[in-house]
Amino acid sequence: FTSAKGVYCEEGSPTVSPGALNTFWRSAENFETRANFPWEGGSGMMWAAAQASPLRRVLVAADLLLYQTQPGDRAAGYSSGGFLGNSRVIGAARSGSQQQFLTRNSEVGSWPNGVWNMVFVGTRGAPLGHCGRNDKVCSLPIVNVDATPVIAEKPFISINAEGGYVLNIPQAQMNRSGVDWSPAPQVDFESVYVARNDTDTAGSINAKLGQGLHIVLSPGIYLLEDALSLQSSGQVLLGLGLATLVAQAGKPAVVVGNVDGVRVAGVLLQAGAEASQALLQWGTGSYPGNSSNPGVLSDVFVRIGGPLSDSQVQAKVMVQINSGHVLGDNLWLWRADHTEGGLVKNGDNPCEVGLVVNGDDVAMYGLQIEHTLQDLLQWNGERGATYFFQAEMPYDVNQANYGDKGYAGYRVASSVVNHSSFGAGVYHYFRDNHVVVHAGIVAPPHLEDSFVSPLSVFLNGKGVIKHVINDKGGLVAVSVFYYFVVAGFVVICSCLVYFKDKANC
């Protein structure tokens, strides 16, 4: 609300039904809260959500509840997130039923919960790293990386002392721990074009991009007759309200040229009826990038299906990164398993691969990919890294078109020499047919120990993943009641590589 006292919010009715499994596509950032409502399970600010629902640059003066429950709800709402970045929680961050979560460059009073895969990067107050979980001694599945090797925070808008809007563009930082709310370089809105979905086209937006302007997309659905093309170094494309960019005529929604420091943030990319080669294409493949001025994707989400449509939608690849030194900071790439009209079956709304990385020195902080019909992730570049990865194999495949093809949730090309991963989980729910997959993760054997705490999770259904990575790790197939969530999981612990001390396994 707005009034004479400025912008403010009022608490509405707290009587809402628990359940966060399908709570997608919302975000909150750049505010302080002193909320202390007494929810079931704790008091404080509640943010019970799943994928594509980030919290950024938030100061929580009390506790933060990342799940919602009610008496008798042993599943505690099936939360399935999540991302917390550059935020400070004075009290406890209570993740409850959150199956997996990434916390990056934040500060927490404590973090007492964890289900399968809780990853902390550059976070103060985080639990000590521990591979797997042991309920007998209350040990949680924690991966804790002391510092973030390189990161640039998401651009944001503020008002300067003269009352004018400015675009804040935080610069890249190396080996950072904790929160950083220091002033960032600012750009006056004379250098920013604010686009509207009811008046702008791809052509009009590209004309402004061609002039070197930054683009702020007002909330809305943009039906793009062509790709938005960013060809200037340091250019920003920032969506407000998760502006939705719908690809049409088989073209990408966004294309980034061979330039440094481009930022794409706060957008939801949506497939159209004619298949695009990729909905977001970054570079041509010949550009090495710049280690001190990386390109960054912040809160970039993709969906193939979901909303009601007169025809099927499709894309071959959701995101393709060809340039070097590109960072991803919270991506969810989703081929819909359900739409407004019901379940998705028989390979409808097809997409082959979620993310293809061809560039070198690419890093992903918080990468989630679900339900593509071939590999979910294909990584071909050198010196790549993922810090928290969650994948869910497709529900509607069979042995012939999936299991026998050898598809995987996370594939590193056989030619790759250096690659690392911290907390990579591949889940399966083969709903429609019995499917046997050899391994959730496929990588060159010499890289197996570079995967810290990789895991496989059986959610439900008829099939199995035989191994976690290559031929290592046992079969995950049998459902057991496990910490609020009906599922079974297997994790591989490489103590000597990461945890150093076998007591932490």
- Cα gap 199→457, rounded to integer Å: 46
Per-residue pLDDT band at 46 (split at 50, 70, 90): confident
Place of tokens 């440094």: 260
Q: What is the pLDDT of residue 47?
A: 82
**What number is the average pLDDT over the span 250-272?**
98
Active-site residue, 392 included: yes
Please check the confidence at residue 496 and state whether its pLDDT lies above 70: no
Mean pLDDT (the chain, rounded): 89
Catalytic residue among 107, 153, 392, 448: 392
CB atoms within 10 A of CB 60: 26
Please check the confidence at residue 498 and state whether its pLDDT lies above 50: no
Q: What is the pLDDT of residue 135?
A: 58
Please check the confidence at residue 198 and state whether its pLDDT lies above 50: yes
**For the ranges 7-21, 63-77, 170-184, 310-324, which has the lowest average pLDDT?**
7-21
Q: What is the pLDDT of residue 115?
A: 79
Could you tell me the two tokens for 390?
């969650």
Instruction: Sketch out the chain's domains with CATH numbers.
Output: 16-146 (no CATH), 194-504 (2.160.20.10)
DSSP three-state, residue 467 = strand
Q: What is the pLDDT of residue 44?
A: 85
Q: What is the pLDDT of residues 347-406, one digit of tens each?
A: 999 999 999 999 999 999 999 999 999 999 999 999 999 999 999 999 999 999 999 999
Q: What is the pLDDT of residue 4?
A: 52
Please name the residues in contact with 196: beta carbons below 8 A apart, sequence gap of 6 or more: 218, 220
Please check the confidence at residue 101 and state whether its pLDDT lies above 50: yes
Q: What is the pLDDT of residues 119-160, one digit of tens each?
A: 999 999 999 888 766 655 556 788 999 999 999 999 999 999
User: Percentage of the chain with pLDDT > 90?
Assistant: 70
CA distances for 204 relative to 195, 230, 271, 308, angstroms = 9, 13, 21, 28
Q: What is the pLDDT of residue 25?
A: 80
Q: What is the pLDDT of residues 297-313, one digit of tens each?
A: 999 999 999 887 777 99
User: Percentage of the chain with pLDDT > 70?
Assistant: 86
Q: What is the pLDDT of residue 129?
A: 84
**For the ranges 89-98, 164-173, 402-411, 424-433, which has the lowest average pLDDT?**
89-98
Q: What is the pLDDT of residues 58-93, one digit of tens each?
A: 999 999 988 776 666 565 656 667 899 999 999 998
Please check the confidence at residue 493 and state whether its pLDDT lies above 80: no
Please check the confidence at residue 3 and state whether its pLDDT lies above 80: no
Of the candidates 17, 74, 72, 73, the one whose C-alpha atom is nearest the C-alpha of residue 48 is 17
CB atoms within 10 A of CB 311: 9
Of the candidates 356, 386, 358, 383, the one whose C-alpha atom is nearest the C-alpha of residue 372 is 356
The model scores a pTM over 0.95? no
Could you tell me the two tokens for 421?
């991963």
